[in-house]
Structure 1
Amino acid sequence: MPNRKQITLRTLADHLGLTVHTVSKALRGLPGMSEQTRKEVIDLAMKLGYRTKNQEQGMAVEHIPIYSSKSRRFAFIVPNTGMVYIHQSLYEGIQSRLAEFGHKLEMLFAPSDAVSDEAFNEWADKYSLLFTDGLFLTPMITAKTEEKLLSLPLPKVLLNYPPPAAQVDSVMWDVSSAVHQSVQYLLSRGHRRILYIGDIHLHRGFRLRWQAFREAMATAGLTVDEEHHLTDTGSPDTYTLKLTRMLERIKPTAIIAGIDHDLSWVYYGCSLIGRKIPVDYSIVGLEHSPNIRISDLTRPILPIKEVGFRGADRMLWRLANPNLPFEHIRLQGGFYDGATVLPL
Structure 2
Amino acid sequence: MPQRRTRPTLKDLANRLGISESAASFALNGRPGVSEQTRKRVLALAEELQWSPHHAARTLSGITSMTVGFVLTRDVQQFGMETFYLRLLTGAQSVLSERGYGLLFQMTHSVDEELAVLRRWSEERRVEGVIISDLRRGDPRPAYLRDLGLPAVLAGGPDPRKLIPSVTVDDGAAIRLLVEHLRNAGHRRLAYVSGPAYLLHVHRRITAFRRAADGIMAEPGVIGTDYSDEQGRAATQRLLRAANPPDAVVFDNEVLAVSGVRTLNGAGLSVPADISVVSCEDSAICMALQPALTAVQRDPTVFGEAVARKLLRLVHNESEPVVEAQQPTIAIRESTRQR
| TM score, norm. by length of structure 2 | 0.66
- 2:307 maps to 1:311: yes
Alignment size in residue pairs: 266
**Structure 2 contact 108–114 (Cα < 8 Å) conserved:** no
Segments of 4+ moved more than 6 angstroms: 116-120, 234-239
Shift of 1:250: 2.5
Distance 2:115 2:179 in 1: 44
SS of alignment partner, residue 231 of structure 1: strand
Work out which of the residue numbers 104, 107, 129 in structure 1 matches 2:104: 107
Residues 320 and 120 of structure 1: is their aligned pair in 2 closer, same or farther, counting only changes over 3 Å? closer
Work out which of the residue numbers 244, 248, 261 in structure 2 matches 1:250: 244
Query: Which residue number in structure 2 is paired with residue 340 of structure 1?
Result: 335
Structure 2 matches for 1:12-31, cutoff 5 A? none
| TM score, norm. by length of structure 1 | 0.65
Work out which of the residue numbers 214, 228, 231 in structure 1 matches 2:220: 228
SS of alignment partner, residue 181 of structure 1: helix
Amino acid at match of 1:170: S
Amino acid at match of 2:307: G
- 2:264 maps to 1:266: no
Structure 2 matches for 1:1-344, cutoff 5 A? 73-79=66-72, 81=74, 82=76, 83-84=79-80, 85-100=83-98, 102-113=99-110, 114-115=112-113, 121-122=119-120, 124-125=122-123, 128-129=125-126, 132-139=127-134, 143=139, 148-149=144-145, 151-218=147-214, 222=215, 224=217, 227-233=219-225, 240=233, 243-247=236-240, 248-291=242-285, 292-294=288-290, 296-321=292-317, 327-344=322-339
Q: Deviations over 1:130-157 (max 9, x none)?
A: xx33212234799456764454212111
**Structure 1 contact 78–139 (Cα < 8 Å) conserved:** no
Q: Deviations over 1:271-325 (max 9, x none)?
A: 3432111110011112353214347211110231111111223223334546x68
Shift of 1:328: 1.7
Ranges in structure 2 where 5+ consecutive residues have no aligned partner? 1-62
Distance 1:88 1:329 in 2: 21
SS of alignment partner, residue 87 of structure 1: helix
How high is the sequence identity, in percent, across the aligned residues? 20
**What CA RMSD, in Å, does the superposition of the two structures yield over aligned residues?**
3.5
Distance 1:202 1:76 in 2: 24
SS of alignment partner, residue 277 of structure 2: strand
Residues 118 and 290 of structure 1: is their aligned pair in 2 closer, same or farther, counting only changes over 3 Å? closer
Shift of 1:160: 2.1
Distance 2:323 2:279 in 1: 25
Distance 1:195 1:116 in 2: 34
Residues 307 and 117 of structure 1: is their aligned pair in 2 closer, same or farther, counting only changes over 3 Å? closer
Ranges in structure 1 where 5+ consecutive residues have no aligned partner? 1-69
Distance 1:256 1:311 in 2: 27
Greater Cα shift, 253-262 or 143-152: 143-152
Distance 2:232 2:200 in 1: 22
Bigger fraction of residues in strand = 2
Residues 96 and 272 of structure 1: is their aligned pair in 2 closer, same or farther, counting only changes over 3 Å? closer
Q: Say which one has the larger Rg.
A: 2
